[in-house]
Structure 1
């Protein structure tokens, strides 16, 4: 799940207009296309019982803050596509959010929307404390970082699936810790030499780009083979290892990522099952290493080829001239050698022979 904060883009409007506009938007039953939007809503820490009264109550309290142009914060809590939270779970998650932000007891409007692929809840919370009228600044302005930690706590308690690049997680000691970003394995020195010479991506880099996510997210061998085939790649077992074919070039699966070795894949996907690659596959065309400098690279390679061709011709011409010169002096050298040998005494000649 994710927790997103909406930026205030227009501070020239009055607090009444801004808060009223958010109220009307999140509680609207239909979206711009006429689809059902708001399927459930709840309000926390209000005196008024109706949405109209709560709207006026939040505006009135916000106007008590003279220095803050917009003391109400608008957040969105979103779940993954296949996750459908209950009303109880949404309420619990919002309460965890308010507690984590230090906004317990503050006026809060929650509206759940279902007009997109992901169920999401809009949270409008008034940062003005209802008793002290003091404007709370959660975590001294570092509320986005705090939101990532709150998401990790909610996911742990309610069992939701974390985002792929989640910033925080709850460890085995129930402590919220920061995830260390996993560095992608760089291409081998041989692959980098190829790229530096040709300006095109090596087979290993193409495999890393196209196959990594497919292999990493596959839940079965069939899904792995199907995904790679659609990407123009082929996965095969070779001995005790695994290789991915980029066209006719074989790339070790472990060179894409060390966790893609055959042993680790079999542990995750079960006993190896070969795929069917008999049908025609997508042809992989050469890809430039950098689209930005592609034109300059072609200019460089053309100039380099011209220089190499000129050097080759110069070398061939020099070799031919050397052969001609050698052919011209060889008869004279043979005559000189023969004359010198005839002047040597017999003993000296035998020693030389």
Structure 2
């Protein structure tokens, strides 16, 4: 189990009603609602009570007009096979444990589990405003709380062990993060993290020679990477918004160790930004590319890129198919039988990657 908080995006209004309706509808393509329930609302506990429950929740939230972020959105991803081990009562009990640990046991929230071809997962949307005291709760160091509950629930229900980023030596530092694995499973494109790990040694070597934050920024800019503060740590970010924890690159790149070397974090200075960006051309920057490449890929990938370049010229249904490489291949398969070869190749590769990750985790744990 991997429990991930979905943070509020900058500039996007906090819309609890929309999130609640999304959880109940399972709107992503190929996704369907599995189970759904509501907690701590007088309106009721079932999906047919949702409209009234959302009005009730919004009435509480409106009493805190000065608070911009009043929602805690949690996604719990399960491993293949876990779904068959869990009843609705089990899922509700797991949700209740997360709520209790985060301090939201008495807060209004909706929860639902979704099924698609890639993974089984649970959404929980907590109203951070207590319905009686109106106190706004924001958990401190919640990543530790989420990891602790996940490990406890895995043990209690006999689920597959999926160590989180807070599990220290129990985690292989070169293993893709859950976010990177999900990106590859949903898009069939190489993740930012997989790309960066190819250049891990030379990036670490370059950072090792840096004497201050500006030089560190320049080293990373040569790979089209930016480094930013997030929560209590640092993340490396791609131009398209993908992120990985800096410590996932190497332990020497954690926030504490980098600030010990360079002092308090400083952003890239604008007068040096242009010279840094010029260096990008001399290195391999991250670009979207298929996870699987064979002789059938080249022409299709070029066609996909051309279509994306002229996105405005396509009807809305085609625009959805152009959202990522996976959706494009699935749509194209109806017209081009050769596309099925690529689809099968991607599916087989993801199964192999999953098997290798599991074997690697087993071997890694044996040496702890």
Larger Rg: 1
Q: Higher RCO, 1 or 2 (CA under 8 Å, sep at least 6)?
A: 2
TM-score (norm 1): 0.46
